[in-house]
Amino acid sequence: MPHHLPDPIRRALEELAEGTPAAVLKKACAELSESYRSTQAHARKRHVSTREGRLAYGVSRAPATFGAICASLDALCEVAPDIAVASMTDLGSGPGTAVWAAAARFPALESATCVERDGGFIELGRELVAAVESRSLPSISWVQASLADLTIPPADLVVAAYSLGELPVDGAGDVVERAWKATRGALVIVEPGTTEGYSAIRRYRDRLISLGANVAAPCPHAGECPMAGADWCHFAARVDRSSLHRRIKGGELGYEDEKYSYIAVTREPVAPAPARILRHPRKPPKVVELEICTPAGLRRAHVGKGRSDAWHAARRVHWGDSWRY
Ligand SMILES: C[S@@+](CC[C@H](N)C(=O)[O-])C[C@H]1O[C@@H](n2cnc3c(N)ncnc32)[C@H](O)[C@@H]1O
């Protein structure tokens, strides 16, 4: 099912963007894409430094990062359905994307702290909150600070989405450790679904396990990651594209697939899914082929019509889903 920004936020973003000519947004969007594409420049780089750059991020990138965060939170909630989330901290929040996603998943979310070094993103986040129905979002405190030297505000849910990759490797590991200390319930880290993003997630996973965190998703175990060679663990979130998105980013399709890697850990022990689907299922006639990660390593499962429950489930599952048969 495609993810889409809550309508009030999408409308508010588009209204704010109306003050900027489409050609200017289009150029800012192209510059943003180019900045993210150049992987060498990724770490330690400020990708956005102008008002139009932040608006282009809001219109063209935030729907995709929102989709990836939603999918990661859904995987957490599947494994920890009773987790109580009344407060959250969003690290490297941009305009508050992870708060929008958490507000849609945790109706009891009352308060959020957004930590962001860029004052312009904080201003945009505040404008968006002012423009939407206040009941749809928790009360948000904005903290303009660098994650590099911050005492992270404790919360039930801590999220770092698409932000740690902008820190030096050592610095990011240190933030992960402080983020875990600040976590009362769950910590979710999301990065782009590139080999670089996955390697970072793998490092964070190892560090969190060494600190006693309980792996909730996507991994079905807390053993060594079995991914080897040139392969990398990543998933895809389908996200709707608005007409403004299509205008400034180009392309005709009404959706795009955002590739992401993530790790979700919890303070309390949980029973992770027995297996996770690592590729689009192949569905030739009379059989479904699933590539799955299991506690015993990577496996290929062939599900035929003879196994009725498994067969019906296998017809419906997608890349990234848990597999329980
Ligand atoms: C790609 S954006 C992600 C924004 C948002 N989390 C999302 O998923 O849409 C990365 C954000 O992290 C922020 N950031 C990067 N390094 C930071 C640091 N050291 N301290 C605080 N914020 C940082 C950037 O300013 C930017 O807003």
Report all structural domains of the chain as residue ranges with CATH numbers, in order of start: 7-266 (3.40.50.150), 276-316 (no CATH)
Residue with the nearest Cα to atom 3 of ligand 1? 162
Ligand 1 neighbourhood includes 166 CB (under 6 angstroms) = yes
pLDDT digits (tens, 9 = 90+) for 63-79: 999 999 999 999 999 99
String of DSSP letters for 13-28: HHHHHHTS-HHHHHHH
The CA 94 to ligand 1 mean position distance, Å, reads: 5
Percent of the chain surpassing pLDDT 70:
97
Whole-structure pTM value: 0.96
CB 153 within 8 Å of CB 181: no
Going by the DSSP 8-state scheme, the letter that residue 213 receives in this structure is: P
d(CA 151, CA 179): 9
Residue with the nearest Cα to atom 23 of ligand 1? 92
Longest Cα–Cα distance of the chain, Å, equals 60
H or E element that contains 128: helix 119-131
Ligand 1 neighbourhood includes 92 CB (under 6 angstroms) = yes
pLDDT digits (tens, 9 = 90+) for 87-103: 999 999 999 999 999 99
Q: What are phi and psi of 290, to 5 degrees?
A: -120, 130
The CA 33 to ligand 1 mean position distance, Å, reads: 15
The CA 285 to ligand 1 mean position distance, Å, reads: 45
The CA 167 to ligand 1 mean position distance, Å, reads: 9
H or E element that contains 246: helix 243-249
CB 178 within 8 Å of CB 148: no
Contacts 24+ apart (CB under 8 A), 33-39: 33/60, 33/249, 36/192, 39/194, 39/196
Ligand 1 neighbourhood includes 118 CB (under 6 angstroms) = yes
Can you give the pLDDT at residue 320?
A: 98
